[in-house]
Amino acid sequence: MGRVPVAVVAAGGLIGGYGVARWTGKRPLGGVALAAAGAVAAREWRRRGGNAAAAGLSAAYVAAFAGSHPLAKKVGAWPAVFSVAGGMAAASWAVTRRERTGA
């Protein structure tokens, strides 16, 4: 069985977190899904890119979540979530596309 790319985990966390919150009506439950995926992604970002990559991508993950809220007021909730998830996936892929060598 193959591994799930970390870019998919990050994007899935943003999409899944919103979906869980929306479909259950419980925002904290969506936050748990968002945080769980973020923790898994951060561990993999650190393994593949080191501490600086993990810190930067984790900050981008939180910024994507926060940024989706004002964006949703302009384009709608789902389009905003898919937009920030796509951006997060692209950033994750760009930083971690090659495994770290050396240190």
* Residue 79 placed within a domain: yes
pLDDT, tens only, 66-96: 999 999 999 999 999 999 999 999 999 999 8
Residue 20 pLDDT exceeds 90: yes
At 38, list the tokens. 């973020």
The average pLDDT across 13-40 equals 98
The secondary structure of residue 2, as a DSSP letter, is P
Q: State the total domains in the chain.
A: 1
Which tokens sit at 42? Answer: 């951060």
Domain-located, residue 61: yes
Q: What is the pTM of this model?
A: 0.90
φ, ψ for residue 4, nearest 5 deg: -80, 130
Q: What per-residue confidence (pLDDT) applies to 97?
A: 84
Residue 103: inside a domain: no
- Could you tell me the residue range of the domain that residue 91 belongs to? 6-96
Where does the pLDDT of residue 1 fall: very low under 50, low under 70, confident under 90, or very high at 90 and above?
A: very low
Burial of 32 (0-12, 13-18, 19+ CB in 10 A): middle
